[in-house]
A and B are shown apart, each in its own frame.
Chain A
Amino acid sequence: MKQRHGAWTVLGAILIMVWAISPVIWIFSLSFKAGDDINNNRFWPTQFSLENYDTVFSTALFTSSLRNSIGIALISTLLSVAIATVAAYAIARLDFPGKRTVLSIALAIAMFPAVSLVGPLFNTWRTVGLYDTWLGLIIPYMSFTLPLSLWTLSAFFKEIPWEMEEAAQMDGATPWQAFRKVIVPLAAPGVFTAAILAFFFAWNDFVFAISLTSTNAARPVPAALAFFTGESQFQQPAGAISAAAVVVTIPVIILVLLFQKRIVAGLTNGAVKG
């Protein structure tokens, strides 16, 4: 009985991996097909080529959108994690009425349909000059990065043994030393995890990206992919789009490889140990 379940688990693990990875391998494979090979109706390329990568990196639409995506996603992540850290600290350490309400508001806002915000923002941004700017995307991105960070961080901070700060002070550390040497190392992994999750969401956004930008000035990668047409009218954009897709998937793969444990803990908030 035990033996059989062991075999099932191994088989299941293999199936999960195949299921999760094969679409990624497919898009990699597609990006290495050049010319007519794109339409060979096979999974693998008949000839390996880097032509599509040459194309995307010499296309301003892609290079500028890559810059926009990195800048906008990083800034909105840093801003929301900074604001959320302060708030989550208060929720974890201080006793005040309304704590639960703050978290409920965050949850409600995280579930908000982004499209509902697009029309008014489109209208307002055009009048105040935020349409098609970095700031014009950073602000609406906070509508999901901030509640997400607040949730992740308050769950992490709840687990921190805050008494250790006082213990350090009793042992002769100054309040600043106690904070820096004891609390910061304990809190940093949570802050970092919240930042990764917020970054994933900002990196992924398409609704705001496509509605609130119109040129290379602020258009992020997901929106640029939708507008990609290839070098000429006669060229299949599938190869170039796949190459661009691979380029923006690599940071995701690196983050996942390095921080898989933390991401899982962040998503389930420490409920899963190990």
Chain B
Amino acid sequence: MNVEAAPAPVGAKYSDRAVGERRLGWKLVAPAVLVMLAVTAYPMLNALYLSLFSYRLTDPAGREFVGLRNYAVILGDSLWWQDVATTLTITIITVVVELVLGFGFAMVMHRIIFGRRGVRVSILIPYGIITVVSAFAWRYAFALDSGFVNQWFNLADKAWFGERWSALFVICLSEIWKTTPFISLLLLAGLAQVPEVLQEAAKVDGATWWQRLFKVTLPNMKAAILVAVLFRTLDAYRLFDNVFIMTSGAQQTETVSFLAYRQMISRTALGLGSAVSVLLFLSVLLIAALFIKGFKVDLSQVRGG
């Protein structure tokens, strides 16, 4: 992030120029701050308010203040906990696989000299591709009618989307394919910051490749790894597109985001759906807080999102 303000010259603090600079600074950032708050804080507060009502769009007259009853209904329902478990499972699997895979990619990209451009171009294509397109590509590859995967691996007529774990497997594959490039680029930036001198010194001391990896490389890029994991975890936790396209939440593959969508848009139960949204938001906050406090993620190391 590196946004530390340059130290103000001593004595300049009270000058007209400094006051003018402050005012101008605030004026210039005001539109950005106002727009960002207007498009997120306002709807979020609105969701908080709506979540206290029993309110269906199809029955506006029946709108009724119910306090925290929506929350009690959700937290007392096993579907909510099942969706949380599904979301957490997908999040953990994808982030762990992406971290290992992404690190491998970063190592290759860090060393490669010839063909650097080709690797970079090919890795950016999954990053830039529409998630829905990725979901369709993987769905059709595993589907019974259009797919080739069963033929390739001699699986006869295995119905991948007919059962929870195999469906989750394909959902995770699509997610991993699409987002590993992002994590690998963040890790590549981290690798570039590991001092080459340390590597050389360890080599001279007779350290093996694995020793250098675990004693020199990884400890020196801890900050980059944690930031990459934090970003991807928060991103994976709001997973929606892949589930929508592949299973529509069937076979117990529904995620928390999908539950909120289904309540609000499909069932038009705005009160209950808003309560799910608020709970989703709170879980994201909780994950972020755990990372920042628990792992001491230093966000000043973040260089973009």
Contact = CB atoms under 8 A, between A and B. Distances in A.
Given A24-B125, A249-B130, A84 B32 contact: yes
A34 interface: no
A269 to B, nearest CB: 4
Interface in B231-270: 231, 234-235, 237-238, 240-241, 244-245, 257, 260-261, 264-265, 270
A119 B270 contact: yes
| Most chain B beta carbons < 10 A, residue from A86, A114, A268 | A268
A180 interface: no
A215 interface: no
Contacts of A178: none
A98 B26 CA distance: 8
A23 B240 contact: no
Contacts of B50: 119-120, 123
B295 interface: no
Contacts of B140: 26-27, 30, 238, 242
B66 interface: no
Interface stretch (B73-81, B90-98, B109-117): B109-117
Contacts of B141: 23, 26
B35 A13 contact: no
Interface residues of B, number: 106
Majority secondary structure of chain A interface residues (helix, strand, loop or mixed): helix
Contacts of B124: 256, 260, 263-264
Nearest to B191: A272
Interface string B10-37: 0000000010011011111101110111
A70 interface: no
A195 interface: no
Interface string A117-131: 111111110100000
A96 B21 contact: yes
B62 interface: no
A125 B296 CA distance: 40
Interface of B: 1-6, 8, 18, 21-22, 24-29, 31-33, 35-37, 39-40, 42-44, 46-47, 50, 57, 104-105, 107-109, 111-112, 115, 117-134, 136-138, 140-141, 143, 145-148, 150-151, 177, 181-182, 185-186, 188-189, 192-193, 231, 234-235, 237-238, 240-241, 244-245, 257, 260-261, 264-265, 270, 273-274, 277-278, 280-281, 284, 288, 299, 302-305
B253 to A, nearest CB: 16
A105 B264 contact: no
Contacts of B129: 24, 249, 252
A210 B262 CA distance: 12
Contacts of B143: 238
Contact of A94 (B24, B127, B147, B304): B24
18 contacts: A43-B148, A83-B32, A90-B27, A90-B28, A91-B29, A95-B22, A102-B29, A110-B305, A112-B284, A113-B237, A117-B47, A118-B265, A120-B43, A123-B270, A206-B240, A225-B133, A252-B129, A267-B127
A238 B144 CA distance: 12
A229 B213 CA distance: 51
B137 A23 contact: yes
A249 B137 CA distance: 12
Contact of B21 (A80, A94, A252): A94
Nearest to B274: A119
A77 interface: no
A16 B108 contact: yes
A207 interface: yes
A58 interface: no
Contacts of A91: 3, 25, 29
A253 interface: yes
A19 to B, nearest CB: 8
Given A122-B264, A222-B133, 13 more contacts: A24-B125, A27-B133, A39-B146, A84-B32, A95-B21, A102-B32, A115-B280, A120-B42, A146-B35, A210-B265, A222-B130, A245-B137, A268-B188
Contacts of B231: 111
Contact of B46 (A9, A107, A120, A226): A120
A99 interface: yes
A99 B108 contact: no
A67 B288 CA distance: 38
Interface stretch (A46-54, A149-157, A166-174, A181-189): A149-157
B149 to A, nearest CB: 9
